[in-house]
Structure 1
C-alpha cells in the first residue's frame, strides 16, 4: 500500500500543468477556430482559464471544508458502499479511457512525423510499459518526473516561439470581436480538451501537506498551461490564418514547419517540439493511468501492482481500437461529455449530499 506522500506546492503545480499539457496544445488552434469561426479564440482561452481557476479554488474549499483525505473514500461515505464503489469504478473507466486516448494520440503523432515504418502497436506498448515502471513507485516518483519535464517543455517551446516571430503577422487575428460576442459564446466549450487534467486536484488534494496554502500551487499549475495555450493560439493563427489552421490535423506542428532558422545546428525546429511533446503526452498518460489503478485498488481492495498488471492489456487494446485519427478525435469528443461530470457535477453533488447527511447525524 502506498504511504501518504504529502505533496508540496511545487509537485502539485508540476502535476497539474503536465496533466493539462497533453494532446490539447497541438490540436487546440484547429478545434477552437472551427467552433468559433473567428480569430477570437485567444479571448475564449483567457475566459476559460479564469473560470477554471475560480472553479479550482472552489473545489479546494469544498474538499477542505469536509476534511477529505481520500476522494474515493469520500464518495463511498457519501453515497454508501455499493453506490460509491460503482461511482469509483466509473471513474476508473474514465481515467483508463483518457490514458488510452493520450497514448494513442501520441503514437499517431510519432508515426506521422518520426517513425513511419514502425508498427504503432510497438510504440503504444513501449510507452505503456515505461509508464508502468514509474507508476509502481506511487505518486512521488511521478511528481519528480513532472518537475523535471515541465521546465524543459516551457524553455524549449518558448525558444521555438521566439524564433518564429519573423513569420508571425498579428494582423491576421484582427478584427478583435469583429463579429460580436456570439462566436465567443459558441466556442466557449470547444477548448475543454485542453483543460483535461484540472479535475485531478480532486484526487490529489488528499495527498497534499495540509499545512501548505495549496491554492497557490493549484493556481500556478492552471495558469502555466493557459498562458502557453493563449500564446500558441495567437502565433499559430497569426501565421497560418484561419483557413489553413482548420485544414490540418496538427496545426501547431504545421506552424513550426512553416519557418526555418539559419545559423544554428539544425534549421528545422519541429523535431524539438515533437520530442518535448512526447514527454508531455507521456506524463499525461502516466497520471491518468496511475489514477485508474488507484480507483481499481479502492474498489476491489486488492494489491496496487495486481491492478496495474490487469490494466496494461486493457489500455493497450483500447488504444488500438480506433481505426484512424478521425476515430481518435471522435473518442475525444465523447470524453468531453464525461469531463464536466467528473469536474463539476460529481463534486458538487457529493458536497451537497455529504453536507445533508452530516447535518442529519448531528
Structure 2
C-alpha cells in the first residue's frame, strides 16, 4: 500500500470508533436494558460492553496480523474463497439492515418529536441520501467527517447525563442484580449489539499509519461509548425507576426533558439533545453504509467503491419501510442485532483461531 493511503492516526481511529458506535441506539438503550434485567440494567449494559469489547479485540487482532487487508480479503486465505464469500455476503447484508433500521428509527423520532407533519418516508430517504453522498469520499475524508462531528456528539451528551444525575435516586438502582430479571442473557447480547459499529476497524486498520498500535485505539474507541452508555442507563434508571422506564419509548429523550443547566440557562435540554443526536445518527449510519459499499467493492475486486454509493439506497429504503410500526421495528432491530453478533464477533474470533493455528499473517511493508 502506498504511503498516501496510510493517513489515519491512532486518535482518528479512536474517534471513528466512538462516533460509529454512539448513534441511534442511545434513545432506547435504557429500555432494552430494563426490559431484560429490571434494576439490573447497568449490570446488563456492563456485560454487553464486555462482549462488544471481546468482538473488537478479535477484529483488531486479525487486522494487526493482516495490516494491508480487510476481513473480506484475508478471510479467503484462511477458510477458502467459497465459504469466505458466503460469509462476506451475509456481513454486507447485515450492515445494509443496520443502515436501514437506523434510518427508520431516525425518521420515527423526527416525525414524532420535531417534524410532526413531515411524512416518515421523506425523513428516511433524506438521511439515506445524505449518507450515500458522504460515502463517496475516500477513507481519509471519511475520517475527517467523523473528526469534525466528534465534539458535537460526545461532550453535550456527557453534559446532559452528568447534570441529570442530580435528580437520581439511589434506591431506584437497587437491587443491582434486578428484582425479577426476565432475560438477563438475552439483554447482554442486545446491549452488545449496540457496539457493532466497531466492526468499522476492519477497513480502518489497512489505512492506519501505525497498524501495530491499532489495539490502543480500539480500547480507547470502545471504552468511551461504554462509559457513556453505562452513565446513560444509570442516570435514566436512577431518575425514573425501572417500572416507569418500561412505559417509555425513548427514555434518554425523556431524561433530557427533565434536565436543566445550572441557573436555569436552559430549563429543558431535549431540543439540544436531539440536535446532537441527529449528528450521532448520521455518523453511525454513514459508517455502516460506508462499510457495506466498501465490502462490495472488495468482494468484486474493484479499486473504487463510489460506483455503489447510490446503488444500495433503494434496497435499504425498502428494508427501512418494512416494519409496520415502532414496536415491530424495535422487535426486528433486537432480533437482527443479536443475530448479527455471529458475523461481528463469532466469525472474526473463528478466523483468528484459524490464523493462529495455521500461523497465517502478513508483515507490514516497512518502507511505507
How do residues 88-99 of structure 1 correspond to structure 2 at under 5 angstroms?
A: 88-99=88-99
* C-alpha distance in 2 between matches for 1:179 and 1:321: 36
1:25 equivalent in alignment to 2:26: yes
* C-alpha distance in 2 between matches for 1:233 and 1:344: 24
Instruction: Report the 3-state secondary structure (helix = DSSP H, G, I; strand = E; otherwise coil) of the residue aligned with 2:311.
Output: helix
Deviations 1:217-240 (A, max 9, x none): 111111111111111111101111
Comparing 328-337 with 240-249, which one deviates more in the overlay?
Answer: 328-337
Which segments of structure 1 move beyond 6 Å, counting only runs of 4 or more?
180-183
* C-alpha distance in 2 between matches for 1:264 and 1:67: 51
Comparing 245-254 with 154-163, which one deviates more in the overlay?
Answer: 154-163
Q: 1:11 is matched with which residue? A: 12
Deviations 1:168-211 (A, max 9, x none): 22221123347599975564334123222123323322222235
Kindly tell me: are residues 69 and 268 of structure 1, through their superposed partners in 2, closer, same or farther at Cα, counting changes over 3 Å? Answer: same
Count residues with an aligned counterpart: 358
* C-alpha distance in 2 between matches for 1:264 and 1:316: 42
Instruction: Report the 3-state secondary structure (helix = DSSP H, G, I; strand = E; otherwise coil) of the residue aligned with 2:23.
Output: coil
User: Is the Cα–Cα contact under 8 Å of residues 104 and 320 in structure 2 kept in the other structure?
Assistant: yes
Instruction: Report the 3-state secondary structure (helix = DSSP H, G, I; strand = E; otherwise coil) of the residue aligned with 2:167.
Output: coil
Comparing 294-303 with 146-155, which one deviates more in the overlay?
Answer: 294-303
Comparing 172-181 with 328-337, which one deviates more in the overlay?
Answer: 172-181
Comparing 211-220 with 116-125, which one deviates more in the overlay?
Answer: 211-220
* C-alpha distance in 2 between matches for 1:23 and 1:163: 22
Q: CA RMSD in A?
A: 2.7
Comparing 115-124 with 171-180, which one deviates more in the overlay?
Answer: 171-180
Q: 2:336 is matched with which residue? A: 335
User: Is the Cα–Cα contact under 8 Å of residues 293 and 305 in structure 2 kept in the other structure?
Assistant: yes
Kindly tell me: are residues 187 and 356 of structure 1, through their superposed partners in 2, closer, same or farther at Cα, counting changes over 3 Å? Answer: closer
Query: 1:15 Cα shift?
Result: 1.3
Deviations 1:267-291 (A, max 9, x none): 2210111110111111111001011
Kindly tell me: are residues 192 and 291 of structure 1, through their superposed partners in 2, closer, same or farther at Cα, counting changes over 3 Å? Answer: same
Comparing 83-92 with 118-127, which one deviates more in the overlay?
Answer: 83-92
Comparing 188-197 with 228-237, which one deviates more in the overlay?
Answer: 188-197
Q: Which runs of 5+ in 1 are unaligned?
A: none
* C-alpha distance in 1 between matches for 2:185 and 2:97: 28
* C-alpha distance in 2 between matches for 1:132 and 1:306: 11
Comparing 332-341 with 20-29, which one deviates more in the overlay?
Answer: 332-341
Q: 1:108 is matched with which residue? A: 108
User: Is the Cα–Cα contact under 8 Å of residues 24 and 105 in structure 2 kept in the other structure?
Assistant: yes
Q: 2:164 is matched with which residue? A: 164
* C-alpha distance in 1 between matches for 2:171 and 2:91: 45
1:281 equivalent in alignment to 2:281: yes
User: Is the Cα–Cα contact under 8 Å of residues 23 and 194 in structure 1 kept in the other structure?
Assistant: no
Q: Which runs of 5+ in 2 are unaligned?
A: 361-368
Q: 2:245 is matched with which residue? A: 245
Instruction: Report the 3-state secondary structure (helix = DSSP H, G, I; strand = E; otherwise coil) of the residue aligned with 1:189.
Output: helix
TM-score by length of 2: 0.88
Comparing 81-90 with 236-245, which one deviates more in the overlay?
Answer: 81-90
Instruction: Report the 3-state secondary structure (helix = DSSP H, G, I; strand = E; otherwise coil) of the residue aligned with 1:309.
Output: coil
Q: 2:138 is matched with which residue? A: 138
User: Is the Cα–Cα contact under 8 Å of residues 35 and 190 in structure 1 kept in the other structure?
Assistant: no
Q: 1:122 is matched with which residue? A: 122
Instruction: Report the 3-state secondary structure (helix = DSSP H, G, I; strand = E; otherwise coil) of the residue aligned with 2:168.
Output: coil
User: Is the Cα–Cα contact under 8 Å of residues 29 and 251 in structure 1 kept in the other structure?
Assistant: yes
Query: 1:116 Cα shift?
Result: 0.7
Q: 2:363 is matched with which residue? A: none
* C-alpha distance in 2 between matches for 1:251 and 1:297: 39
Q: 2:194 is matched with which residue? A: 194
* C-alpha distance in 2 between matches for 1:142 and 1:277: 19
How do residues 167-316 of structure 1 correspond to structure 2 at under 5 angstroms?
A: 167-177=167-177, 185=185, 187-210=187-210, 213-260=213-260, 263-264=263-264, 266-302=266-302, 303-316=304-317
